[in-house]
Amino acid sequence: MRKEDFNIMSSVKIIENLKAELLCVIGDFFKLLSKGSNVAQDAILDC
């Protein structure tokens, strides 16, 4: 395999990791929203 192939695979791995992290953050955000407006409002203000 060429050096460029390894570089592409490294980039794909990084992108997939970032997508997984983003999905977890969005999931946590929706959990907060489902708990109620006061809890969600306080959590958003703490960020």
Supply the pLDDT for residue 9. Answer: 86
Total count of domains within the chain:
1
Q: What local confidence, expressed as pLDDT, does residue 47 receive?
A: 65
pTM score > 0.85 for this model? no
Q: What is the pLDDT of residue 42?
A: 75
Residue with tokens 């983003």: 22
The parent domain of residue 15 ranges over 3-46
The answer to whether the beta carbons of residues 32 and 40 sit under 8 Å apart is yes
DSSP H helical ranges for the chain: 3-35, 37-46
pLDDT string in tens for the chain (47-residue length): 566 667 888 899 999 999 999 999 999 888 887 877 776 677 777 76
Question: Residue 1: its pLDDT value, please?
Answer: 59
